[in-house]
């Protein structure tokens, strides 16, 4: 049986794989549409269509690079490692929710509990980084107390 930390890590991996596949499909579709577009008597319309498809490819290549960066960040996390201080890969339980420090995905539910999967570079991730059980901090006019770091 895997731990919650491993499940969250695998959830992040799966998210990256899904994002990569979806973006790659959009890139392929845009490239196919551009190459299938045949030049008609309306030359400007043809050039505009090809330019729009090229912009779509470039936009999705940028998105793909961002997802690859998230994958790179995730590859540096050991889901079996436990620390007393908050580092990437930590589960942080506070009086205002549970956080998994990895990549920015958002809210998910595992084993009936809500976890916020956030990046260490996010505003709350930056406040959590380096803290330990018992530490407190303010965020968005709320006082947070760290109940556990796993």
Lowest mean pLDDT among 19-23, 54-58, 94-98, 116-120: 54-58
Q: What is the pTM of this model?
A: 0.86
Q: Are strands 97-102 and 113-119 parallel, antiparallel or unpaired?
A: parallel
Starting at the edge strand that comes first in sequence, how are the strands of the sheet with 97-102 ordered? 106-110, 113-119, 97-102, 91-94, 142-149, 136-139
Q: Are 100 and 115 in contact (CB under 8 A)?
A: yes
pLDDT exceeds 90 at position 112: yes
Rounded Cα gap, residues 11 and 19, in angstroms:
12
**pLDDT tens readout for residues 26-45:** 999 988 887 776 554 455 55
Give me the pLDDT at residue 41, please: 43
């Amino acid at each position: 049986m895997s731990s919650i930390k491993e499940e969250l890590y695998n959830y992040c991996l799966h998210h990256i794989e899904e994002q990569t596949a979806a973006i790659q499909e959009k890139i392929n579709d845009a490239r196919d549409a551009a190459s299938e577009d045949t030049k008609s008597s309306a030359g400007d319309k043809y050039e505009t269509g090809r330019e729009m498809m090229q912009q779509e490819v470039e936009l999705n290549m940028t998105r793909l690079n961002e997802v690859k960066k998230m994958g790179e960040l995730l590859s540096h996390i050991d889901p079996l490692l436990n620390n007393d201080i908050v580092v990437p890969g930590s589960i942080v339980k506070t009086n205002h929710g549970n956080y998994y420090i990895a990549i920015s995905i958002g809210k998910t539910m595992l084993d009936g509990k809500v976890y916020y999967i956030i990046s260490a570079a996010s505003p709350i991730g930056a406040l959590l980084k380096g803290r330990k059980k018992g530490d407190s901090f303010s965020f968005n006019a709320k006082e947070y107390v760290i109940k556990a770091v796993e």
